[in-house]
Structure 1
């Protein structure tokens, strides 16, 4: 039995309880090979490249990959999906794996993260990913997405100002949020009215039984004016 010190303790701390769970390949279905390869790459180099802290390694599945998968049912099966502030590729890489008939654009301003995303695409073999080194505000007029996603990028009022110009009329902004999702949505109401966003709603999404629910905030772009 390990005594709580040394290498054994370190290995124990890094163990992810979801590793080897037979429900994972069943849940991800056809996306499993790409998602599994992405998970392995995150585990190997995520901390080394400064994308994840060491405490995140034992919870990659639930906190990051399954959490990202929770957004997929709120996204179209085809068309253009733009992931703002992709960072390590969450949720964009998972979305691309699970929505193979959609084009998924990953938007990230930091060069080292863009390099990482390019390496992830090569490692996973995904062919429906376009990577742009840019900020959301720089793409106004350059894209017309069917949906925009974002995870831990900004408060909803800021996020909506940045992303409404990127979404077609009738398209969706789908944001992953924390415990204050409802409060943020209420606080963003004046900005939503000004931008012509409608149908703001908070959803609690569960992927596999036993995981914590993920809060997803959706809104639809109407025909209101754009505000930069």
Structure 2
């Protein structure tokens, strides 16, 4: 593996220079993160998954920004990333935290194809499921998760409605939001309370050489049972 100094000064053919801080985030998987950024800067742009103006910001605004959410995730947790698109935040989380069990949920075929190509190229263990988060088949396949993540997918209330059925009781929604995160929480607090999300809060985290990431975090306290009754508890069902 090439040393960190080389990575700090290298400019790949498809995007910006690799930030010095990326080595601390991805460790020995830094070459895979570089390859992912190359994918975003070539196939991602060609297939319309990333805008051309985002090319200079692939590291700080997208990849490192997404990886910063790893600080809110426990060891070995099952993560479902809904509306994964070009793989954000799911792919950076998988690269930064190989202990996590990642499932990417994406409804559009062209994006699913892109994700599968990336996963195959990088040789990482990440599952891709095609469909919408609210579909019964997706809930059956990817549900009972410890954490549901998302990034730039929908307003918070709608996002919480999609996340709740995919979570185990005691599981967490971790939504990556912009500067208006606190305003969204206040606006949608009542809607999230109806879904039985407790401990709603905003945490600001940051990876080196990246924009701050605002995480909206809520814990699912109860869930509607199969007969319409609510169940409570923090344990997970048998897998």
Q: So what's the TM-score if we normalise by structure 2?
A: 0.83
Contact 1:200 1:220 in 2 (8 A): yes
Work out whether 1:104 is the aligned partner of 2:102. yes
Residue 55 of structure 1 aligns to a residue whose secondary structure is helix
Query: RMSD value over aligned CA atoms?
Result: 1.7
Match of 2:60 among 54, 59, 62: 62
Q: So what's the TM-score if we normalise by structure 1?
A: 0.87
Residue in structure 2 matched with residue 213 of structure 1 by the alignment: 212
Gaps of 5+ in 1: 1-13
Residue 204 of structure 1 aligns to a residue whose secondary structure is strand
Work out whether 1:180 is the aligned partner of 2:177. no
Gaps of 5+ in 2: 1-13, 229-239
Work out whether 1:171 is the aligned partner of 2:176. no
The Cα shift of 1:224 comes to 4.9
Residues 20 and 177 of structure 1: CA distance in aligned 2, closer, same or farther (over 3 Å)? closer
The Cα shift of 1:180 comes to 1.1
Contact 2:169 2:223 in 1 (8 A): no
Which contiguous aligned blocks of 4+ residues in structure 1 show a shift greater than 2 angstroms? 20-23, 139-142, 224-227
Residues 140 and 21 of structure 1: CA distance in aligned 2, closer, same or farther (over 3 Å)? closer
Measured against aligned partners, the alpha-carbon deviations of 1:12-31 in whole angstroms (never above 9, x if no partner) come to: xx862xx1433322332133
Mapped partners of 1:207, 1:183: distance in 2: 23
Residue in structure 1 matched with residue 79 of structure 2 by the alignment: 81
Residues 80 and 59 of structure 1: CA distance in aligned 2, closer, same or farther (over 3 Å)? same
Mapped partners of 2:128, 2:190: distance in 1: 32
Contact 1:195 1:225 in 2 (8 A): no
Contact 1:145 1:171 in 2 (8 A): yes
Residue 48 of structure 2 aligns to a residue whose secondary structure is coil
Mapped partners of 1:149, 1:120: distance in 2: 19
